[in-house]
Amino acid sequence: MIATSMVFLMHLGFASLEAGLTRSKNTVNILFKNTIIPAIGLLTYAFVGFNLMYPGGEYAGSIFGFAGFGLTLPEGWDTSNYNEGYTFFTDFIFQAMFAATAATIVSGAVAERVKLGPFIFFSILYVGICYPIVGMWKWGGGFLNTLETPFYDFAGSTIVHSVGGWGALIGAALLGPRIGKYTARGMSAIPGHNIPLATFGVFLLWFGWFGFNGGSVLSADPGLVSKVFVTTSMAAAAGAFGALIVSYLMFKTYDITMVLNGILAGLVGITAGADQMGVTSSIIIGLIGGALIVFAVVFFDKIKVDDPVGAISVHLVGGIWGTLAVGIFGDLASLSQFFSQLIGVAAVGVFCVVFAGLLFFVMKKTVGIRVDEAEETEGLDINEHRMRAYPDFATKD
C-alpha cells in the first residue's frame, strides 16, 4: 500500500514533466489530461481491466480470459488464503496505478495538437482493454508466462512502458507534427516553457519508481526490496551519464532535457529485471539506455514523428532495451531467455500497434483527432478549456 501511494505520486511527476516541456499556451490542457487519466485508469480497471488481466487459473497459457465485470471479493480476500502478505484490495489498487501509467505515456507524445474528446475516448479503451490483455499474457498466467523459457518482465518495461510507447508512436505518427516543427529549412526546436517544472517532474518520477519497482517485489522482504532500490537508482544515475556523454558529443552542449530523459530511460530499462541484476549490470543497462535515448530522439525527428517530451524514445525504445537486457545480463541471462524476451516484445508490439492504430485511424476518419490550425496556433488552453494557466502574463508562443 505504501508502494501504491508512491506510484500514485508519479502522475504528478508525469504532469509536471509534460507541462514543463511544452508551451505555456497548452499548460491547462496538459494538466487536464494528466488529471483525468488516473481517474479513467481507476474506473476502467475496476469495471473490466482487473478481471481481464487476472481472469483465473483456468486461462493459464491463453491469450485472453475474463472473470466478469466489476470487483467481486473472493473468499479469504483479507487473509493469507488470498496471498501471503497482501489482500485482494491491495492487489487491485497497486495494479490499477500501473494501468493508468500506460495512457499517461501516450499523452506526452500527442501533446499540443490532439483533440481532448478523442484522446479521452482512446484512453478509456487503451487502459480498459489493451493494457490488461497484454498484462494477462505474463502477469495473469497467459501464453508468455508458459513459454518453454518464460518471458520475464519484473515490473513492466514491456507490459507497462512499451504498451504506452507503442500507443504514443502510433498517435504521434497519425496526428502529424506540430505547426512549425519541420520546415523546408529542416527541424526547428520548439522549447518547453518551464524547465524547472520538468526537472521537478523527473525527480518525482524517480522517487515514485522506488514504489513502482520496489512494490513489484510484492512483499516487504528486506533483502530483495533493498536490492531493487539499489539497482533502480544505479540505472537511473547511469542513464543520466549515458545521455550526457552522447548528447555532448553530438551537440557540443550540456542539454538538461536529454539528461532528464536519460534518467527516465535508465529507470524504464531496469524495470524489466530490477530484481535479477547486480550493481554493475544495472549501471551498464542504464548507461546504454541513456545513450539510446539521444539517438532515438534524433531518429524520430529525422522521420518527422514529433514527440514534444520524448515519450516514445524513453518508454518504447527504453522499454524494448530493458526487456531484451534480461536475456543478456543478470541471473536469467541466456540465449533461450533472450529469444523469449524477443517474442514478448514482438507480440506486445504487434497487438498494441494494431489496437492503437485502429482506434486512432477510425477516429481520424470520423470525428477527427487534431485541432484545427487556428486553435493550435492560439493554444489549446483558451480553445479547449476557455482559460489560461498564466492569465497574469502575456503569452507570445
Q: Is 183 helix (H, G, I), strand (E, B) or coil?
A: strand
**Identity of the amino acid at 19:** A
Predicted pLDDT of residue 395: 52
Chain position carrying cell 534480461: 326
Question: Do the Cβ atoms of 397 and 25 come closer than 8 Å?
Answer: yes
Over the stretch 107-138, which tens digit does the pLDDT of each residue have? 999 999 999 999 999 999 999 999 999 999 99
User: Above pLDDT 70, what percent of the chain?
Assistant: 99
Write out the three cell numbers for 29.
490542457
Q: Tell me the CB-side half-sphere exposure of residue 94, using CA atoms within 13 A.
A: 21
Average predicted confidence (pLDDT) for the chain: 95
Strands (E), 208-360: none
Euclidean distance between CA atoms 234 and 245, whole angstroms:
17
1-385: what CATH class? Answer: mainly alpha
Split at pLDDT 50, 70, 90, the class of 394 is low
Chain position carrying cell 477510425: 362
Q: Is 187 helix (H, G, I), strand (E, B) or coil?
A: strand
| SS3 per residue for 234-264 | HHHHHHHHHHHHHHHHHHCCCCHHHHHHHHH
Predicted pLDDT of residue 185: 86
Residue 144 has pLDDT above 80, yes or no: yes
Residue 31 has pLDDT above 60, yes or no: yes
Split at pLDDT 50, 70, 90, the class of 396 is low
Rg (CA), the chain: 20
Query: What average pLDDT does this structure show over 307-336?
Result: 97
Split at pLDDT 50, 70, 90, the class of 81 is confident
Euclidean distance between CA atoms 63 and 136, whole angstroms:
8
> Which residue, among 263, 264, 268, 275, has the nearest Cα to 231 in the 3D structure?
275
Euclidean distance between CA atoms 33 and 133, whole angstroms:
23
Over the stretch 346-366, which tens digit does the pLDDT of each residue have? 999 999 999 999 999 999 999
Euclidean distance between CA atoms 183 and 310, whole angstroms:
20
Query: What average pLDDT does this structure show over 306-335?
Result: 97
Query: What average pLDDT does this structure show over 88-99?
Result: 94
Sequence spans of domains, the chain? 1-385
Over the stretch 193-240, which tens digit does the pLDDT of each residue have? 999 999 999 999 999 999 999 999 999 999 999 999 999 999 999 999
Query: What average pLDDT does this structure show over 30-35?
Result: 97
Query: What average pLDDT does this structure show over 298-303?
Result: 96
